[in-house]
Structure 1
Amino acid sequence: MRVLLLEDDADLAEVVAMGLRNESYAVDVATTYAAAEEALRLTIYDVACLDLGLPDGDGLDLVRRLGSDPDLRRPRRVLVVTARDAVADRVAGLDSGADDYLVKPFEFAELTARLRALARRADEAGATLNTGDLTLDLATRRAWRGGVELRLTAREFSLLRFFMHHPGRVLSAEELLEHVWDANADPFTTSVRVILSRLRKKLGDPPPIVTITGAGYRLGEPS
């Protein structure tokens, strides 16, 4: 899952981003309204976590624009994370287009729980994905093949989840980097190949993910 974290406190942003990356979220950090605006022009995020009190603008204005500005690529879900705790502020945030509202200070476990809940709500297929004999439970982050549970790392789970969102489609290494990793990932890295190799080994035979020479990788039959 790729997340945009807009937080004007650079130290807090770094701590939260590090924690999310340790949970295998792909996180891009913005500390100003302008930087978040630029990121939202270039990338479609699964979730945007947006602070409201910013040095160069009001995050609530950005939330509103996500629903109307054609130059911005609306994330699948929007989570407001702010110190504004009045009921009127919560109502304004949700009425402006946010899907959820989290008040600072917060426990990191609650943030990750809310991100998981938003991911389930954004998934049109519900809390479970099925492709062939593969099953993913998005709520518990568990995976099975042919009824046998797979022991996947968080990154392996995220990679398989992305494949299962696009069964039969050829996905390039660049596309996998964009959606499963974040802007800090080196485009020339071998991490996609390494993690994919580990995932394939755990999935077993016959291999459900095949290499398409010169193009990328595909899960299942062509659509």
Structure 2
Amino acid sequence: MIFAVVEDSRSQSEVLKALLKSEGHQVEVFSDGSSCIEALKTRVFDFFVIDWCLPDVGGDEVLRHVRERCGWDVPVVFCTGRTDEEAAADILRLGADDYIPKPIRYMEFMARIHALLRRRQPRAATVQFGNIEVDLEGRRVKLSGIDVELTQREFELAVILLHNVGRVLSRDELLTSVWARDAGVDTRTVDTHASRLRKKLGLSGESGLMLSSVYGQGYRLDTVHQG
């Protein structure tokens, strides 16, 4: 799925980009509304995340172009510093599907994205990766048909890794995606949880998947052929 993130804060857009890419989405970032509007003439996007206050044109103007070019089936989420009831009503009345108050709480952001995606395109309740079965709705995991007990963070890390088989994910990317803004958490936490998942889910090849540490980069999950 291709996301367009329209956000003038580089640090903010980079975090949102990392979160979305960690789940396998393609992301294009626009630092102002005009560049996004221009891109709409030749590009197709599946989802829009738009800052309400942009340096050139208003978020409402970007939304108008999105609806004209892409129709009403494409989800649009606004990020806004306005949290009053009137602002929320205005944003939704203009045609947005949802809005997220700033400062953005990243787990809430992803939960809202997931909720919109579920409504727009029904998906299977369970997905299979090698011998690992993941119930995305029930947040349960089975290995070769046997339930595996995972913590919330372990489950979230597992889902990100499983959706990115064959791709190197940096420790910082994983840290941002799973732990967001939790204080006192560093990349060693990623290493600890990766080690636990390797044991619990048989990610040394037993499950048909191998979790490897890539020196100086992060982690990569690969499929392996079982003899």
| TM, length-normalised to structure 2 | 0.55
Structure 2 distance, partners of 1:124, 1:29, is 27
Cα separation, partners in 2 of 1:34 and 1:157, compared to 1, 3 Å: same
Structure 2 distance, partners of 1:142, 1:39, is 40
**Map of 2:6 onto structure 1:** 6
Structure 2 distance, partners of 1:136, 1:73, is 33
Q: SS in structure 2 opposite 1:12?
A: helix
Q: Greater CA radius of gyration, 1 or 2?
A: 2
Identity across aligned pairs (percent)? 27
Contact 1:52–1:80 (CA under 8 A) maintained in structure 2:
yes
Contact 2:24–2:163 (CA under 8 A) maintained in structure 1:
no
**Map of 2:38 onto structure 1:** 38
**AA at the equivalent of 1:13:** S
Q: SS in structure 2 opposite 1:110?
A: helix
Contact 1:32–1:55 (CA under 8 A) maintained in structure 2:
yes
Cα separation, partners in 2 of 1:90 and 1:57, compared to 1, 3 Å: same
Equivalent of 2:160, from 154, 162, 165? Answer: 154
Equivalent of 2:114, from 88, 113, 116? Answer: 116
**Map of 2:125 onto structure 1:** 128
Structure 2 distance, partners of 1:38, 1:140, is 41
Cα separation, partners in 2 of 1:74 and 1:85, compared to 1, 3 Å: same
Contact 1:44–1:74 (CA under 8 A) maintained in structure 2:
no
CA drift at 1:56: 1.1
**Map of 2:89 onto structure 1:** 91
Question: May I ask how many residue pairs the two structures share in their alignment?
Answer: 164
Structure 2 distance, partners of 1:106, 1:199, is 33
Cα separation, partners in 2 of 1:3 and 1:142, compared to 1, 3 Å: farther
Structure 2 distance, partners of 1:2, 1:144, is 30
Structure 2 distance, partners of 1:35, 1:142, is 42
Structure 2 distance, partners of 1:33, 1:95, is 20
CA drift at 1:27: 1.7
Cα separation, partners in 2 of 1:78 and 1:129, compared to 1, 3 Å: farther
**Map of 2:202 onto structure 1:** none
TM-align CA RMSD: 3.9
Q: Moved runs in structure 1, 4+ residues, more than 2 A?
A: 18-26, 38-41, 64-67, 71-76, 127-130, 135-149, 151-159, 198-202
CA drift at 1:38: 3.1
CA drift at 1:51: 0.7
Equivalent of 1:78, from 61, 76, 79? Answer: 76
Structure 2 unmatched ranges of 5 or more: 128-132, 148-154, 166-220
Cα separation, partners in 2 of 1:18 and 1:85, compared to 1, 3 Å: same
Cα separation, partners in 2 of 1:158 and 1:89, compared to 1, 3 Å: farther
Q: SS in structure 2 opposite 1:16?
A: helix
Contact 2:6–2:51 (CA under 8 A) maintained in structure 1:
yes
